[in-house]
Amino acid sequence: MADNNVLIVYAHQSPSSFNAAAKDVAVKVLADQGCKVVLSDLYSMKFKAPATAEDIIGKPQDFQYDNFQYGQETMVALKENRLSADIVEEHKKLTEANLIIFQFPMYWFSLPAILKGWIDRVFTRGFAFTNEDKYSTGFFKDKKAMLSFTTGSSESMFNSNGINGDMNVTLWPIQNGILYYCGFQVLAPQIFWAPMDATSANRKDMLDVWRKRLEGLLEEKPLRFPPSEYFDGGAGFKLKQSEQEKWAAEQFGLSVGQHLGKPLPHNNQLTV
């Protein structure tokens, strides 16, 4: 792993939290293997979450709109080197990283606001994606990314028959709609189920499992998502008829999102 750079984007308020412990394990295990590990500790950095005109140095451009268009304006600012310094710094970390690990507590079935703000601002149009460069042809197709997070509910509650619903469905907008959309090879998530309710021994076991996984993390195969060539860009980006015919006789759909009205493939967002 000597040539591998890892960026950990960490979002938790407390240095004594389980998330902090999981982050610390990742830093140590990866560094011990020769990786260069860079940490973005969002709360300690007091990272600004809202995406606003303050992210642009100088006067915004006129795109013939009556209101400020953040995506268009930041794309122009990117080309003209007029993005705010905090975004530029995170861009540099992302550019140098081979692997990005997002460490956070799951809030409301999604990301903490500060982490979502990091994504809103740092995954700048023109840097992380364009209308043409996305999914399997995205800018980050040579990088790996993964979610590592804690839940407040037990694993059984996030099952297909649990009150919270299937975790595969919960993760689809994040893993497909953010990470894979930008081209990342998405590794299976590391989920720490309800550590707040676990015993000290069980929490230690969770960290031991994470430690063991980290030892071979960069050799893992990513989750499978339907590649861009499966879709016809001239027909509303729908699955090509030829691909639909291939799946007609299959018991399950392609993915959580492209299920074709069939049962969801088992653990499509959780395991390789």
Residue 63, Cβ neighbours under 10 Å: how many? 12
pLDDT in tens, 230-247: 998 776 789 999 999 999
How far is residue 172's CA from residue 180's CA, in Å, rounded to a whole number? 10
Read out DSSP for 60-74? PP--S-SS--HHHHH
pLDDT in tens, 57-79: 988 776 555 678 899 999 999 99
Whether residue 54 has pLDDT greater than 80: yes
Q: Which CATH architecture has domain 5-221?
A: 3-Layer(aba) Sandwich (3.40)
The confidence band for 2, taking pLDDT boundaries of 50, 70 and 90, is very low
The confidence band for 55, taking pLDDT boundaries of 50, 70 and 90, is very high
> 176 near 226, Cβ under 8 Å?
no
Structural domain spans, the chain:
5-221, 226-272
Among 141, 119, 158, smallest CA distance to 270 is for 158
Alpha helices by DSSP H, listed for the chain, are 18-32, 42-45, 70-79, 85-96, 113-122, 167-174, 200-214, 241-247
What is the pTM (predicted TM-score) of this model?
A: 0.94
**Tally: H helices and E strands in the chain:** 8, 8
